[in-house]
Structure 1
Amino acid sequence: MSKALEGHQWQEFSGVEPNPTAETLDKAVAIVKEQGIDYILAVGGGSVIDGSKYVAAAAKYDGDGWDILIGKHTVSDAVPLGAILTLPATGSESNQGAVITKKATQDKLAFLSPFVQPKFAVLDPDAMKTLPERQLINGIVDAWVHVCEQYITLPSGAMVQDGYAETLLKNLKALGNSFDDRDSNKWRSNLMWSANQALNGLIGTGVPQDWATHMIGHELTALWGVDHARSLAIIQPSLLRNQIESKRAKLEQMGKNVFGLEQNDDLAERTINEIEAFYHSLEVATQLTEHGEDKPGAIASVLEQLKSHGLVALGEGQAITLEESEKILESAIK
């Protein structure tokens, strides 16, 4: 990167952590404001790109950048940014969203704005060569749940979106099954592109979307530092079982078209079992253990966070109340 930027005036800001915090990012905001920096280049994975989106937006705002996350300020301008992806998972390089954590209050919130959509994104699978196995597995799981959030909802007759979503799920399943081939360019390329397509807006166009797994999972990350992807694997199977009746038709469709299961009365249940087995095949847990021994206390903590963030009617039908979230957590927390 340094060589490519020869002849340009530039400054590096490093130290953006996984699940980027406002506390760290506000230091970058101050630099951008003080030095009049007019372009941001995000080099990294979803955390770096999300963080850069926050910096880009907050640098054009006179108040506290956290106001963007709590809805006190609507982004109307941002420093332009580009992205060079090194870790495929979130699709942040090709979308308008970002998720930021406030460490002091253990809040993890999202914002969306067309003003922070990267102007370009470079996706080079060679950048993945040095990634640890855990990050590659997280990338598969994260992309998988991104697709599911836009697919396992209500039947909408959207043949293109459903077909493309099913293709992405089959691709991700195949990548998980062939994880031993992760050093090949073909494997890396397919993960990088699948993760991008999972959350660039295409498969969600015109169809119901869920995102309850993400909203609850964010609280696990904020409270106990659980990897984002792994928080999703913890919540999703329990959530799907809780919401099985409203999601039955799409679960059955997924069972047939993604897992190749035979149609019968318990097809939806078996599809959820297959999803959970897929996570286990990657050695990803589907129950939380990071909370320690106090399960009731852990559930209460998550519910309090959900309530404080106004997340009291989640899902495509807003059917996941705090009472339903409690049932989901009862199953998802060991």
Structure 2
Amino acid sequence: MNNFTFHNPTRLIFGKGTIEQLATAIPAVHRIMVTFGGGSVKKNGVYDQVVRALKDRDFVEFWGIEPNPTIETLRKAIYLGKEKQVDFLLAVGGGSVIDGTKLISAGLNYSDDAWNLVKKGSYYNCTPLGTVLTLPATGSEMNNGAVISCKETQEKYPFHSNYPVFSILDPETTFTLPPFQVACGIADTFVHVMEQYMTTIGQSRLMDRWAEGILSTLIEIAPQIRESQKNYDLMADFMLSATMGLNGFISMGVSQDWATHMIGHELTALHGMTHGATLAIVFPGTLRTLRQQKKDKILQYGERIWGINYGSADERIDKTIEKTEQFFRSLGLQTRLSEVNIGNSTILEIEHRFNERGVAFGEKQNVDGKMARAILENCM
């Protein structure tokens, strides 16, 4: 196991009826900006709960943070926050709203265009923020990462800032989510875990078992959620799996990959695809392309998660990758680029972008432009 320093300062407030705790979670001295996405929080009652908890408080609302939040929208929020002299942010929504609010929290204390911070990759002189999570997927409610897009240039980059001060997770807020969003959230959570797990064997028994526990949970609950999305215990497990999948708990001291995510971000930037949907396509292609490099871990994953312990090594790897792809299909997601009408021109553009930026991802830092192209060709 590698050396590491671990610190996660976010306070989780989990359970039924916990939104009312906003009344005490945010100190009364703050001038608050509450950020939202579309209007779904008004339909499911979350908005009313938030407003009720913040009664008699000084707050302003900002609406319209879209899926895959864009700098064009976030600039408007930053302007409003500065105008109103906001000194605390509350993100109410899914990962996109929380991601966007993280950039707002940085931009409020920055004198230039916030896109510069995104291109830089990080900024930590931030206005404090809390969250009310309504869509489990990204884990943004308990980490310091975000991903921000620019419509003008069709770019999408990761960005790091401060952790949320607190995050409120009430599983009842997920009951009315569209099934497609739930499916993408499960896929996103699954691949988050895989990016930290599917590297090499023998680094940490504990990290492996924690990761496998989340994977097994997702596989067990996914079909039940499709049948009973208003089951509190199922959605509680889903919500907590998404949070635990990317809050640092399963990555301590082990190598990580993230090539699938970086390729997926480009598919979103170029075609506007939902993030989780891109991962369901790219991840099986990553396994097919890097099957020899990841051979031992694929075999471990296949045996422990799917019970595949028979046949030759190559046969077991084939069956494991097939099972993984079948899982994404069982969620109702597509797993091939040809199914979403994406072809060679996009593959070449992504290869060009990787090469132009001089980037390489994966636990061996070998997923450069050429390898990204090979992975995408294995997704056709």
Query: TM-score of the superposition, structure 1-length normalised?
Result: 0.95
The 5 Å alignment of 1:37-76 reads 37-71=86-120, 74-76=122-124
Q: What's the CA shift for 1:289? A: 4.1
What is the aligned length? 328
CA deviation map 1:44-85 (0-9, x unaligned): 0000000000000111111111111211x7513100000000
Q: What's the CA shift for 1:321? A: 2.3
Q: What's the CA shift for 1:317? A: 0.2
The structure-2 alpha-carbon separation of the partners of 1:74 and 1:177, relative to structure 1 and needing over 3 Å to count, comes to: closer
Name the counterpart of 1:316.
363
Name the counterpart of 2:211.
165
CA distance in 2, matches of 1:93, 1:202: 14
Q: Find 2:241's aligned residue among 194, 209, 212.
A: 194
Name the counterpart of 2:173.
127
| SS of equivalent to 2:51 | coil
**Does residue 82 of structure 1 match 2:130?**
yes
CA distance in 2, matches of 1:305, 1:231: 17
CA deviation map 1:86-126 (0-9, x unaligned): 0001110000100000110000000123xx20000000001
CA distance in 2, matches of 1:74, 1:109: 11
CA deviation map 1:252-283 (0-9, x unaligned): 11111111111442222221111001111112
Q: Is the 8 A contact 1:156 1:207 kept in 2?
A: no
Of 6-15 and 318-327, the range deviating more from structure 2: 318-327
Q: Find 1:16's aligned residue among 65, 84, 87.
A: 65
CA distance in 1, matches of 2:282, 2:213: 23
CA distance in 1, matches of 2:129, 2:80: 15
CA distance in 2, matches of 1:250, 1:30: 48
Q: Is the 8 A contact 1:91 1:198 kept in 2?
A: yes
| SS of equivalent to 1:245 | coil
CA distance in 1, matches of 2:104, 2:375: 35
| SS of equivalent to 2:322 | helix
Q: Is the 8 A contact 1:226 1:290 kept in 2?
A: no
Name the counterpart of 2:351.
303
Q: What's the CA shift for 1:306? A: 2.5
Q: CA RMSD in A?
A: 1.4
Q: What's the CA shift for 1:230? A: 0.6
CA distance in 2, matches of 1:173, 1:35: 46
CA deviation map 1:17-42 (0-9, x unaligned): 00000000010011111221000000
Name the counterpart of 1:26.
75
The 5 Å alignment of 1:172-187 reads 172-178=218-224, 179-187=226-234
Query: TM-score of the superposition, structure 2-length normalised?
Result: 0.84
Q: Is the 8 A contact 1:216 1:306 kept in 2?
A: no
Q: Is the 8 A contact 1:154 1:247 kept in 2?
A: yes
Name the counterpart of 2:7.
none
CA distance in 2, matches of 1:206, 1:199: 14
Of 270-279 and 78-87, the range deviating more from structure 2: 270-279
Q: Is the 8 A contact 1:29 1:58 kept in 2?
A: yes
List alignment gaps of at least 5 residues for structure 1.
none
CA distance in 1, matches of 2:170, 2:357: 37
List alignment gaps of at least 5 residues for structure 2.
1-49
The aligned amino acid for 1:21 is T
Q: What's the CA shift for 1:291? A: 6.5
CA distance in 2, matches of 1:111, 1:308: 19
Q: What's the CA shift for 1:177? A: 2.6
